[in-house]
A = this chain, B = another copy of it.
Amino acid sequence: MPHETIKRLALYLRSLRYLAEKRVEIISSEKLTEHIHASPAQVRKDLACFGEFGVPGVGYQVKKLIAEIESILGLKEKREVALVGIGKLGSALLAYTGFRKFGFRISALFDNNPEKIGKKISGLKIEDVVRIEEVLKRRKIKIAITTVPATNAQEVANRLVAAGIKVILNFAPHYLNIPQGIIINTIDMAIELECLAYFLTHKI
């Protein structure tokens, strides 16, 4: 499935859960698209790939559609996540409830600061980064989030690769050189803001 389709399915799911909390039972594709940037035709096409969930002329049953998308995205399995870098951003990510809604559970913490190693946060002990390989191999953790400074980012990435990590969400503002077959996405918040603000300087 293309990356963009997965993203839209995740966005539908987020909206549908929001609607379910508000006790909405049925939703039309038109109404659903008001919650994401996509056309009703796109919504119908995306959902058509996975069988017939809708009632023509009425809409989709919210709860049923939630269960179907959860199953498609594989959210029924719990997925353990390692977090490397327990600074301000790391602590914010640890406290972020959004990950749990997608079945992710941050369950291993690493830092290289001797003052932090051995301390507990949210019931989890912060381990030394030198133990990444040992701990993640033993616990078969395949997903990692890194928030380490740029200067340490490549070294941490190398450790994660050696530990068998397959998926990295990287917040370090630095390009990481990783082997093929490992999936990485770097979120550089300053660059995201720059991409928006450029238009402010040049258009307004």
Contacts and interface: CB of A to CB of B under 8 A. Distances in A.
Interface of A: 1, 3, 6-7, 10-11, 14-15, 18, 34-37, 73-74, 77, 79, 81, 87-89, 91-93, 95-96, 98-99, 101-102, 104, 142-143, 145, 150, 166-169, 173-175, 177, 183-185, 187-202, 204
Given A11-B175, A93-B189, A177-B34, A183 B199 contact: yes
B102 A201 contact: no
Contacts of A200: 79, 142-143, 166-167, 183
5 contacts: A6-B194, A7-B195, A91-B92, A92-B92, A185-B195
A149 to B, nearest CB: 9
Contacts of A10: 188, 190-191, 194-195
A167 B202 CA distance: 13
B14 A188 contact: yes
Nearest to A145: B193
B92 A193 contact: no
A174 B13 CA distance: 11
Contacts of A197: 74, 79, 104, 143, 167
B95 A201 contact: no
A99 B89 CA distance: 14
Contacts of A191: 7, 10-11, 14, 102
A7 B102 CA distance: 28
A200 B37 CA distance: 26
A51 to B, nearest CB: 17
Which residue among A14, A104, A142 has the maximum number of chain B CB atoms within 10 Å of its CB?
Answer: A14
A196 B169 contact: yes
Nearest to A198: B6
